[in-house]
Amino acid sequence: AQKITQTQPGMFVQEKEAVTLDCTYDTSDQSYGLFWYKQPSSGEMIFLIYQGSYDEQNATEGRYSLNFQKARKSANLVISASQLGDSAMYFCAMREANTGNQFYFGTGTSLTVIP
């Protein structure tokens, strides 16, 4: 079974609007971490935001927030006030405490911001 599922291969959003990128995960561990990375066309992976499984508050980093719904095993990324520079691939990832150092990545969502 897939550890991380991203069901949106491509998304479009109007500049200055908010957009939600979906991510669901599969784990039986109680302790795990969830991540979002951005990959612009230049290729480098940029860390955006982290949510620990025991964190009670949703993580926020500037215009990025992670909508963490533990019972539904979802960790959606919300980008507020989209900018043209937000156009990129976005990857959701998970690390389980029991598997130590291995990170599992989803297949990614390509976001295009329309002027």
Question: Which positions lie near another protein, rule CB under 8 A?
Answer: 4, 6, 9, 33, 35, 37, 42-45, 47, 50, 52, 91, 93, 95, 101-108
Quick check: 88 and 38 in contact, CB under 8 A?
yes
Q: Whose Cβ is closer to another protein: residue 50's or residue 73's?
A: 50
Q: 85 — phi, psi (to 5°)?
A: -70, -5
> Least Å distance between CB 10 and another protein?
11
Closest CA to 50 of 35, 30, 70: 35
What is the C-alpha separation between 29 and 79, in angstroms, rounded?
28
Q: Whose Cβ is closer to another protein: residue 36's or residue 86's?
A: 36
> Least Å distance between CB 105 and another protein?
4
Q: Whose Cβ is closer to another protein: residue 19's or residue 106's?
A: 106
Q: Whose Cβ is closer to another protein: residue 22's or residue 33's?
A: 33
Q: What tokens were used for 33? A: 């971490």
Q: 83 — phi, psi (to 5°)?
A: -120, 160
> Least Å distance between CB 84 and another protein?
22
Single-letter code of the amino acid located at 54: Y
